[in-house]
Structure 1
Amino acid sequence: MAGGSSGGSTAGVALGVGYASVGTDAAGSIRIPASCCGLVGFKPTHGLVPLRGLIPTGCEHIDHLGPLTRSVADARAMLQVMAAPDPDDPHSSARPASSVPPRDDLAGLRVGVPESWFWDDLEPQVEAAARAVLDLMAGNGATPTPVPMDIGHLAPLLLLPLFVEAYVFHQPTLDACPELYSPDLRHQLMAGQYVLAQDYIRALRARRLVIEALRRAIDAVDILAMPTLPIVPPRIADVQTPDVLELIHNTSVINQSGHPAVSLPMGLAAEGVPMGFQLVGQVHDDYGLLAVAEAVERLIGFDMSLLATRTGTATRN
């Protein structure tokens, strides 16, 4: 699969149809397809790229727009065009991301490794590839450091307010034209009307605790690092509804806090499909995160031509 949501935008860039495209990310739909297609997917700090014109997922605090590209340099170029305050967008931030020069190496970089949650239950070849990237970073001057991330009992609650608010937004269309929605999505949205108010409030409190845990973790270091997906991309025919929760496991939490995050290709699995490595940066340090990502990109040295070999297509650089 190309990644589901934003998968078409991503596949087009991977096939060389264009140099870049735009993805929408409410639970990982920039970084997940980037990981599945061997691209760079960048989710900026929430509010840095205006959301005016975007149909909200439901909880608008989790919606992001960002670039999908074949290199970190192209993602930076896209961000320079896309990031601008918008007085007509209530989510737009007037605070610009600070300009940061490129990095020659990773000397002095403190890399937080949240072993709990983000590194739990990984497919073996995904974990092996991600650990290899950490080793490359350490060899280039970075200092990987375990950081606590005790959110396992809270994170499953984060989708509840999403579907409640999404139902409120979609109710008129659901009532008038239910056939426009796939059966799975229609049933998930309609279930939102039956959530009790006290459960909705508890879920919002869980969200606040998750955001605080993420902030504490990243405030102790410079960036966080983990695999983008805990699994290798599955075949479309094999995807079931529960698999979606597995796909968003390492990405959706970052949408809650609004931190910038980028997925880089870290190699091919035995099945010949790409795997992604995710870096999470400080809020409004988007260009600092991209500078680190570009240095990691050089260390990994992922060869885009490998994708062309697998698909039998020519990929323009």
Structure 2
Amino acid sequence: MNDYEQHDGLGLAALVRQGHVSPSELLDAALARIERHNPALNAVVTPLHDAARAEIARGLPPGPFHGVPFLVKELVASVAGAATTASSRLYAHQMPAADSEIVARMRRAGLVIAGKTNSPEFGLSPATESLLYGVTRNPWDLSLTPGGSSGGAAAAVASGMVPAAHATDGGGSIRIPASCCGLFGLKPTRARVTAGPEGGEGLSGLAHQHVVSRSVRDSAALLDALAGPMPGDPYSAAPPERPWLDEVGRTPGRLRIAFAKAAPTGVPVDAACVAAVEDAARLCEQLGHHVEEASPDFDAPALERGFEMVFAANTMANIARATGGAMPDRELVEPLTYALAESARGLSAADYILNLQGLHRQARRIAGFFGRYDIWLTPTLAQTPRPLGWFDIRTSDSQAWLAKVVAYLPFTYPFNVTGQPAASVPLHWTDDGLPIGCQFAARYGEEGLLLRLCAQLEAARPWFHRRPPVTTHPPRQTGGRP
């Protein structure tokens, strides 16, 4: 199918409904692109080709994405009969017998699961490198990371393997790779998508699931398909007024948009990232919105410390599920993971609860800012895409590593703490051709408003036609080892 990459997921599904192409032909097109690009990118680490063909042969449900190839991230979500390792040797032999609820919803939407994508161990890193599965590379420049932790998903979508792919976000892991790979990445409101039946919440409520995509409408339609609680979930987000797909194309009205060029913690912001947000602010003003420079007033260092504690404690919990609470043999987890877990062993129950309460106080201060503004616009990241190995998973200095991480993503993790929806929108490219995302955040539960604005930006500054160099001249190169 020669024009496979000229359509988003909804466009491919329309071709199937109209009888112009079959699900098997779409799968063949996806698998051909995986075969062509994966040796260079190492985006797909678990092929499920035979299972995908068998699924089509059994008959697909008539969902909105009927027959569209799709990939699931190798983290959190279980696919029956496929290894679910969290990219860790500690879980290398874990083989679930049943789908997670989100995967069952993917299938009901008509998606055809063709494989699983790379992630760093336990999703810890903003780069996608693991000792189990190796390094994933950025299709815009193979010497750079595609971001993390959903870097395998983003590299697969940006290179045209699939039009959208499953992603998760505990500190920016949807928005970071969306920015690095020139994609749209929406982190939904907290508890918008269930973590069941395996879990109630991830990272003490910081973690979310959704997708990275090449179009806003695919993201909206997939949220319609994937959102909603399961019985027994500890809490859930209020349902939308109307389907999210219906928001695409509706006018957002004249919004009050604040923008920031400086990071809340005062870390340096690259000139290219500043230029991207300045350009986005001008575009919003040209579209009729009220735009001014402003930022919420909160204790950014306290938020940073609290975020780091949650990550360290949950790293120990990820290990404890396999070991019963003991530290594992060192060869079973990466040095960084081991160091983060060790740093959490001295925490008391009171330490952890007081830390969560402190995060909630800062979240209220950030949320108060959205009483004055509808949207906060920032760079998605404080730096351009980093070289491979920049976030060294072999280090045992977890504090220095964490300092490097939070300097990279000072704009993303606050919205994991508040639970508000936030999206990275690919509105800017550097002079040497690297994508730079701009983050737009809205009030809790207002994905509809955010999608209306993002669709307006997409129409004003289209990005769908942009293709990375690897798709035109794919080198035969292995993903490699970190």
Per the normalisation by structure 1, the TM-score is: 0.88
Does the 8 Å contact 1:117/1:151 carry over to 2? Answer: no
Are 1:150 and 2:321 counterparts? no
Compared CA separation, residues 166 and 53, structure 1 to 2 (3 A): farther
Distance in 2 between residues matched to 1:130 and 1:37, nearest whole Å: 17
Residue in 2 that maps onto 1:167: 316
- Return the alpha-carbon distance in structure 2 between the equivalents of residues 155 and 119 of structure 1: 9
Matched, 1:136 2:288: no
- Contact map agreement 2:265 2:301 (CA 8 A) in 1: no
- Please list the CA deviations of residues 96-143 of structure 1 after superposition, one character each: whole Å capped at 9, or x if unmatched: 122264456665211122566359521011101210110110111111
Does residue 187 of structure 1 match 2:333?
no
Distance 1:87 1:285 in 2: 23
What is the distance in 1 between the residues matched to 2:473 and 2:463?
18
Q: Report the counterpart of residue 360 of structure 2 in structure 1.
A: 208
Contact 2:195–2:202 under 8 Å retained in 1? no
CA-to-partner distance for each residue in 1:147-183, whole Å, 9 max, x for gaps?
4333323222121133124313422536345423211
The SS at the match of 1:282 is: coil
Over the matched positions of the two proteins, sequence identity in percent amounts to: 26
Match of 2:105 in 1: none
The aligned counterpart of 1:70 is 214
Superposed displacement of residue 48, structure 1: 1.2
**Distance of 1:113 and 1:232 partners within structure 2:** 19
Q: Unaligned regions of 5+ residues in structure 1, if any? A: none
Shift, 1:309, TM fit: 6.9
Structure 1 counterpart SS, 2:407: helix
Q: Where does residue 98 of structure 1 map in the other structure?
A: 241
CA deviation string 1:64-107 (max 9, x = no partner): 001110011111111111112311432434x2122264456665
Residue matched to 1:108? 254
Q: Kindly tell me: are residues 201 and 89 of structure 1, through their superposed partners in 2, closer, same or farther at Cα, counting changes over 3 Å? A: closer
Distance 1:176 1:56, change over 3 A: farther
Distance 1:118 1:15 in 2: 33
Consecutive unaligned residues in structure 2, runs of 5 or more: 1-144, 393-400, 475-482
d(CA) in 2 for partners of 1:88 and 1:199?
Answer: 28
1:22/1:67 contact within 8 Å kept: yes
- The letter for the 2-side match of 1:170 is I
Matches within 5 A, 1:31-50: 31-50=175-194
Please, which moves more after superposition, 144-153 or 275-284? 144-153
Which one of 12, 15, 28 corresponds to residue 172 of structure 2?
28
Tell me how far apart the structure 2 counterparts of residues 228 and 59 of structure 1 sit (CA, whole Å).
21
Q: With structure 2 as the length reference, what TM-score do the two structures score? A: 0.60
Q: How many residues align?
A: 312
RMSD: 2.5
Deviations 1:192-216 (A, max 9, x none): 0113556435433431222012111
Cα drift, residue 266 of structure 1: 1.9
The answer on whether the counterparts of 1:260 and 1:286 sit within 8 Å (CA) in structure 2 is yes
Structure 1 residues 7, 143: CA separation in 2 closer, same or farther (over 3 Å shift)? Answer: same
The alignment status of 1:81 with 2:233, answered yes or no, reads: no
Call closer, same or farther: CA 1:54–1:251 in 2, change over 3 Å: farther
Within 2, Cα distance between the matches of 1:119 and 1:59? 22
Question: Quick one: distance in 1 between partners of 2:415 and 2:193?
Answer: 16
CA distance in 1, matches of 2:381, 2:451: 20
Q: Which amino acid aligns with 2:256?
A: R
* Larger helix percent: 1
SS at structure 1 position matched to 2:263: helix
Q: Whose RCO is larger (CA < 8 A, sep 6+)?
A: 1
Larger radius of gyration: 2
Question: Is structure 2 residue 452 aligned with structure 1 residue 291?
Answer: yes
Counterpart check, 1:221 vs 2:221: no
CA distance in 2, matches of 1:49, 1:288: 18
Change (3 A) 1:101 1:239: closer
